[in-house]
Amino acid sequence: MEQGRRPGLSEAIGVWSLFALVALAILVTYTRLPHEALYHTSGDGIEAGAGRALVFAGFPVALIAIPLAWIAVARLRTRPAVAAGVLATILCATVGFPGVIDQADLDARPVNALAGIGALLALGLTAVALRGGGLGESQPFNRWDVARIALAVVLVLAALPWIWAELGFYVDDAPVIGDPFIAEQVKPSLGGEPSLHAVHLGHHHGLDGILLALGALVLSRVPSRMPRKGEGTALAAYVALLLTYGLANALQDGWNEQLVKRGTSDFKLPSVIRPDLSAAWLGILLGALAIYFVLFRVGRVNRPEGEIR
């Protein structure tokens, strides 16, 4: 690999910390609540909590672990690190195989362990990079960070029903902040299942979308610090896709729970968890392309330092 600047690890540590907090919340909630109060899981106690946390390690953690692994590789710049990055990517990619993640069955299975191991390997790379060179330098605060923070605040506010559910509570029981939302009310299921609470307790793929979008916003600061043009543009493209994919999943889940179940709209947004040939996925790809060029401006790169500007 060429010599040049190396990315700092502040953003990576922030993203790992965010996902670790959610994993802890899942472990606690699925351990303390009976499976009847949750969604498509069986079993109770610590085994159930650990199993659901493992599924979370596959989706969505494995998706964000791929760029985190390569940020660490760019910092370490060794052949063993590259080999570990390739292996982590392959293992994390297994989350996309048919049947690995099934919304109708969210109990942990042996196949879920592959993506979990990949995410763990990516975390190990980050730890080695941190130990070897510290946090390093990150991109200075700039005008885009104001927009990032503003969007992050909007996303967190929109995610309040899912955050409360993650902790094992209904947001509409909370004074003031719960007023705009429905959650505990029992509403007809949109998928032909028995009627459920508008926002069931436990984990939601809408929150997965919020987490991926937040992670992408944080990591969008890193491509300008990558040592080579190809590394910077590849990271920028992946982060752009991750951002639009996360936003699409959050919108789909939130729309159906807060508008369709409330009776405000009869139009149900289709699932976009898995890629397919659809108008929704065309929109995701076009959105990612727009972000790729507008936010990162990948066509103008200072090759000696790898700065995208």
Mean pLDDT of 249-277: 93
Question: Percent of the chain at pLDDT above 70?
Answer: 92
- pLDDT for 194 equals 64
Which residues share a beta bridge with 102? 105
For the chain, the C-alpha Rg in angstroms (whole number) is 20
Sign of CA dihedral 52, 190, 184, 207: positive
Question: What H or E segment, with its residue span, contains residue 186?
Answer: strand 186-187
Predicted confidence band of residue 300 (pLDDT cuts 50, 70, 90): very low
Tokens of 194: 């028995």
Percent of the chain residues topping a pLDDT of 90: 69
Please state the pTM of the whole predicted model: 0.92
Closest CA to 6 of 170, 224, 241, 301: 224
Q: What's the DSSP call for residue 195?
A: P
- According to DSSP, residue 258 is labeled I
Place of tokens 């069955």: 105
Would you say residue 78 has pLDDT above 80?
Answer: yes
Most confident of 154-163, 180-189, 222-231, 298-307: 154-163
State the average pLDDT over residues 4-33: 94
Residue 299 has pLDDT above 60, yes or no: no
Please compute the mean of the pLDDT values over residues 149-176 and round it to a whole number.
Answer: 96
pLDDT above 60: residue 304: no
